[in-house]
Chains A and B, each alone.
Chain A
Amino acid sequence: MPISKEYIVKRALSLVAVVFGAAIITFVITRVVPARPELLWAGPHATMEQIEQARKILHLDDPIYVQLGYYLKDLITGNWGISWRTKSPVLTGILSALPATLELIIVAFAIAMVIGIPLGIIAALKRGTIVDHILRVVTVSGASAPVFWLALIAQLVLSNWLGLLPSAKRVDEIIVIETGFKPITGFYLLDSLLQGNIPVFIDALKHLILPALVLSLYPLCLSARMTRALTIEVLNEWHIRSALAWGLPRNVVLYKYALKNIIAPVIASLGLSFGYTLIGAFMVELVFVWPGIGMYAAMSLLSFDYPAVIGCVLFVAIFYSVINTVVDIIHAIIDPRVKL
């Protein structure tokens, strides 16, 4: 389906506006709301000198609009402050953690789609039967579980008690040293495959599977419920009924005519659950010592490393907006009815 350039330009412009808005809100929260922002910025064990330095970095002696100007300039030039936990620039820390998080989230979403959508279709086709009721309870429960608790219990039972899967980190250091594995892109699965390093690939997969499963549970259940609702709605529409009345085989009607109408809104709903999954990654990564943005953010939160926390908040907000824009564009490509 061709898609107009105008639409993409429009979406890109609104993305810029949204990111700008998010930056303004973050500015208000971090600089205007606290009585003395420099105390937060310098951390709980700061000396007088460090606090004074923080005042200078934040330009707190200037009027608020000048502060905002400096803030936006720093934001664009990538000068996001220094984390005093890691003693390195915040943006560098976040970017170096990005591949680990992306790998985890991509696999989690793949699991969610591959299992969630068929479950939803099954529930819709068996509507009102015992299968449907069981699936309803299971998917509602899955979407209700606190993800950090789930991670703790899964780790305890499957790793610590049964010893089925490794409990922490991305890969076993010993295997890395033995095989001379060197990450290039930071996506370990991809890197090890490209280098033909099968032991590392298998080990990385083993490490990945448990956190990815835990993280996938929420989008999985959500997509299953969305798919069910949409399938039921579509099956009641006239074009499907008339196709059935014409005597077309049920499966043909289902897969050729009904499913086409479901895919676009299901993808849109997955975009929505992406936000939850990003925050869920904060907690899952913390539990599984997965060195991604989530763990970086969670460690910063737990050690009151304010510049790093705010950096993560900004980054995740921007990332989320970008993903939503991409999802909208994909949605428009799949579904010709969508017009801005």
Chain B
Amino acid sequence: MVFEEAKLIFRLIKMNPISMAGLVIVVGFIILGIIAPYITPYPLDAWGLTYNVEKRFLPPSLEHPFGTDEMGRDVFSRVILGARFSLIIAVGVVGLALLIGIPIGLIAGYLGGRIATILMRITDMFLAFPPLLLAIALAATLGRGLINVIIALAISWWPWYARLIYVQVNSIKNLPYVDAARIIGLTPIKIMLRHVLPNALTPVTVQAALDMGSAILEAAGLSFLGVGVKPPTPEWGLLVSEGWTSINIAWWISLFPGLAILITVIGFNLLADAVREAMDPRLRKAIIMRRV
């Protein structure tokens, strides 16, 4: 069922070259994130372990396609390795947010009543903050670092997933097959995990996967505001901010990591657009009819 659905969505994406571009960017980014440490031309530069006085502020050339920074490090290598860190952050944030959000939404949705009221009120309290603001407060409290960035962003994100699961579970829990499970005497935990959760999971996981672009964007924002990852981690947002002080003499240090963020997030957003359109039954019909 899920597999059929995925096949249909993929077919719809293939029909639109722009959506296809999004898919290619996302797949390319994931592959790059996995193989990045093995393909950087200057591995030591990439990890930020070198200081090369005579190579400071070199403009882009064949040897250094993105130029060098104020420590004489190869910007290209650092941007490539940055994909690895962005991938870790994206997967970490979304994964952790799902781990918190799914149980809360599931319990609130299935049990209902007072428990649901309390849990969803707490969820709403978190949603009172504009996105990223709560993460800023948390990151400022926890201090800089990769793990802290992931925790800070996940804590500000799980409420969205809790809500989504809550709505899904509410629409499923009174279906006949769940009633049947109840009647034959299954425990609530078994019903929740085996019968309700699997059917509520698809929209949330799809949404979460497509949210990875926003996670990358927000982590970059945290780094720029000085509460993100620690230098010399080659995270893209931090790379942009490191080039800021010397932007008038060496624009390439900030330009290229920013472009990397831009292209990656565009990829995720184009894909998100396409998948949303493909999963909407009314629009789906319209697309298929038009093409046939």
Q: Name A's B-contacting residues (CB within 8 A).
A: 18-19, 21-22, 24-26, 29-30, 33-34, 40, 128, 133, 136-137, 140-141, 143-150, 152-153, 156, 160, 274-276, 278-279, 282-283, 286-287, 297-298, 301-302, 304, 306, 309-310, 313, 316-317, 320-321
Chain B residues whose CB sits within 8 angstroms of the CB of A148 once the complex forms: 220-221, 224, 237, 240-241
Min CB gap B159→A, angstroms = 11
With A34-B141, A136-B18 as known contacts, state yes or no: A22 contacts B129, CB within 8 Å. Answer: yes
Q: Which of B4-12, B72-80, B104-112, B247-255 contacts A (4 or more CB under 8 A)?
A: B247-255
Chain B residues whose CB sits within 8 angstroms of the CB of A276 once the complex forms: 130-132
Main secondary structure of the interface of B (DSSP, over half): helix
**Contacting pair B131 A279 (CB below 8 A):** yes
Q: Which of B48-56, B169-177, B265-273 contacts A (4 or more CB under 8 A)?
A: B265-273
**Contacting pair B213 A30 (CB below 8 A):** no
**Residue in A closest to B137 when the chains form the complex, CB atoms:** A313
**Contacting pair B130 A317 (CB below 8 A):** yes
**Contacting pair A29 B137 (CB below 8 A):** yes
Q: Name B224's contact: one of A33, A274, A283 (CB within 8 Å).
A: A283
**A146, A156, A298: residue with the most chain B Cβ atoms closer than 10 Å:** A146
* Residue B89 lies at the interface, judged by CB distance under 8 Å to chain A: no
**Contacting pair A275 B130 (CB below 8 A):** yes
**Contacting pair A279 B217 (CB below 8 A):** no
Q: Name B140's contact: one of A150, A275, A309 (CB within 8 Å).
A: A309
Min CB gap B3→A, angstroms = 28
Bound together, the chains give a CA A140 to CA B221 distance in angstroms of: 19
Interface residues contributed by chain B, number (CB under 8 Å): 45
* Residue B194 lies at the interface, judged by CB distance under 8 Å to chain A: no
Main secondary structure of the interface of A (DSSP, over half): helix
**Inter-chain CB contacts under 8 Å: number:** 142
* Residue B145 lies at the interface, judged by CB distance under 8 Å to chain A: no
**Contacting pair B130 A301 (CB below 8 A):** no
**Residue in A closest to B130 when the chains form the complex, CB atoms:** A275
**Residue-wise interface mask of B (227-238) relative to A, using a CB-CB cutoff of 8 A (1 in contact, 0 not):** 100000000010
Min CB gap A201→B, angstroms = 30
B residues 125-149 near A (Cβ < 8 Å) are 125-126, 128-134, 136-138, 140-142
**Contacting pair B136 A313 (CB below 8 A):** yes
* Residue B95 lies at the interface, judged by CB distance under 8 Å to chain A: no
With A18-B128, A146-B237 as known contacts, state yes or no: A309 contacts B136, CB within 8 Å. Answer: yes
Bound together, the chains give a CA A19 to CA B129 distance in angstroms of: 9
**Contacting pair B226 A302 (CB below 8 A):** yes
Chain B residues whose CB sits within 8 angstroms of the CB of A140 once the complex forms: 266, 269-270, 273
Bound together, the chains give a CA A245 to CA B134 distance in angstroms of: 51
Chain A residues whose CB sits within 8 angstroms of the CB of B265 once the complex forms: 144-146
Bound together, the chains give a CA A320 to CA B132 distance in angstroms of: 13
Min CB gap A157→B, angstroms = 9
A–B complex contacts, Cβ < 8 Å, 10 sampled: A140-B270, A146-B217, A146-B221, A148-B241, A149-B240, A152-B244, A274-B130, A278-B133, A287-B244, A297-B136
Bound together, the chains give a CA A30 to CA B213 distance in angstroms of: 29
Chain A residues whose CB sits within 8 angstroms of the CB of B227 once the complex forms: 301
Q: Name B138's contact: one of A29, A143, A279 (CB within 8 Å).
A: A29
**Contacting pair A320 B240 (CB below 8 A):** no
**A33, A141, A144: residue with the most chain B Cβ atoms closer than 10 Å:** A144
* Residue B290 lies at the interface, judged by CB distance under 8 Å to chain A: yes
Bound together, the chains give a CA A40 to CA B254 distance in angstroms of: 31
**Residue in B closest to A26 when the chains form the complex, CB atoms:** B137
